[in-house]
Amino acid sequence: MEQRDSASSTFSSSSSSTKKVIAQEKLQVIEWEDFEQEVARLWSLSSALREAKEKKQILEEKLQSLIQVKAESLNRSNELEEMREKLEARRSVMERMSTRSKVAAEDARMQEERLSMEVRSLLVSGTALSVARKRLQESNRLLAGERGYLQLQNLQRMLRVRQQFMISQVSLLYPVKILVGPKQEQELESFPSSSRSGNPDASKPVNPGSFTILGLHLTMLPFTKMSLFTDKKEVQRSATALGYIAHSVSLIASYLEVPLRYPLRLCGSRSYINDYASSIEHTSSDLSSNTALSTNTKPVEFPLFLEGQDTTRAAYALFLLNKDIEQLLNFIGVKSLGPRHILANLKELTRTIQSPDYI
């Protein structure tokens, strides 16, 4: 562009000078002797003018080509900038897609691991299910028909016979007998009355008499009459009888496979009976001090003897022992004779099990 401008200015200056010369020449008179020189000078000026026009044309063409190249370069630069912006936008999109792809790949990997674990568990469960199905089919095959049902009945009968034999041995070890005598009115009159879980008409023994276990009476004086002058031997015999009863009840429960509601701790004539309900009530009363109720709290023990013990706790222990006997009676479908008839209930328990109807 600068070259083109300089050429234009040169051409314009030369043309203006030529016009001035022509104007001056119009005013001047050329002599003949100077005519050739003037013609030569004009010819050289026209040649210079022609060359200047040619140079101008060439410069114009070059300038046009340069302008076109510059315009094309500028267009391409703009296009390149647009393409660079698009590339940056696509690069950011690709980065976001790459991040999402990594997250999706991690999720897919975790899902694959979870699915593989579920497949393994399904395979194990399927194997266990097939084994259980085979066992069920085998059991159904064994129980199907008359032979399988009879086999089950025979097994139940053998179990009942075995239980009957073992409990008969207990009754031989600790025999409970009825002795008719005047002491019947004093038997267990020291314990308070309680709600009866059975037939009211059968709350007392049918035949009046005194029950004994291994020859010992379970007779205790009223608690209001307990004093230093009480017969110590009578108290010891009652404690021994209670130890016999507790041992027999424990043996019968183990043979019948019945977990006692109030477990026994056997120590002969110094046996104890446990009550979990009292321990739970005592623990629940302390909940206001943010004390949690523990499932493995120790039970409260109550003595099955009177010597050196609180008579109320001993009475409650005897009540719990009778509840254990009632639990065994209910297990075989027999009602209790009442809360004050421990030996009578124990006798009814052994008699019912040893009867033919039990089998």
Tokens coding 112: 């694959």
d(CA 264, CA 259) in angstroms, rounded, equals 11
The whole-number pLDDT of residue 293 equals: 44
Domain 160-358: which topology? Actin-binding Protein, T-fimbrin; domain 1 (1.10.418)
The residue extents of the domains of the chain are 2-99, 160-358
Name the least confident of 108-117, 159-168, 299-308: 299-308
Mean pLDDT rounded to a whole number for the chain: 77
Is 0.85 surpassed by the pTM of this model? no
Across 135-140, average pLDDT? 84
Secondary structure of residue 303 in the 3-state scheme: strand
The whole-number pLDDT of residue 7 equals: 44
pLDDT reading at 182 higher than 70: no
d(CA 35, CA 105) in angstroms, rounded, equals 100
Task: List pLDDT tens digits, range 4-33.
Answer: 455 455 445 555 555 554 555 455 666 777
pLDDT reading at 152 higher than 90: no
Tokens coding 161: 């016979």
Return the higher-pLDDT residue of 39 and 203.
39
d(CA 342, CA 348) in angstroms, rounded, equals 10
With CA atoms as reference, report the closest residue to 329 among 309, 307, 296, 353: 353
The whole-number pLDDT of residue 145 equals: 62
Return the higher-pLDDT residue of 312 and 147.
312
The whole-number pLDDT of residue 206 equals: 43
SS (H, E, C) 27-80: HCCCCCCCHHHHHHHHHHHHHHHHHHHHHHHHHHHHHHHHHHHHHHHHHHHHHH
As beta bridge partners, residue 142 has none
In this structure, are residues 223 and 315 in contact, taking their beta carbons and an 8 Å threshold?
yes
Secondary structure of residue 274 in the 3-state scheme: strand
Return the higher-pLDDT residue of 327 and 204.
327
Task: List pLDDT tens digits, range 46-89.
Answer: 888 998 999 999 988 888 888 988 998 999 999 999 999 999 99
Which strands form 264-265's sheet, in the order they lie side by side?
264-265, 272-275, 300-303
The whole-number pLDDT of residue 141 equals: 77
The whole-number pLDDT of residue 98 equals: 92
Task: Give 49-55's long-range contacts (Cβ < 8 A, gap of 24+).
Answer: 49/14, 49/15, 49/18, 52/7, 52/10, 52/11, 52/14, 53/11, 55/7
Name the least confident of 141-155, 250-264, 290-304, 322-336: 290-304
The C-alpha R_g of the chain, in whole angstroms, comes to: 62
Name the least confident of 77-86, 153-162, 272-281: 272-281
Name the least confident of 15-24, 130-139, 251-260, 263-272: 15-24
Residue type, 214: L
d(CA 276, CA 287) in angstroms, rounded, equals 17
- State the CB neighbour count (10 A cutoff) for residue 235: 18
Name the least confident of 96-105, 185-194, 197-206, 236-245: 185-194
With CA atoms as reference, report the closest residue to 317 among 334, 330, 300: 300
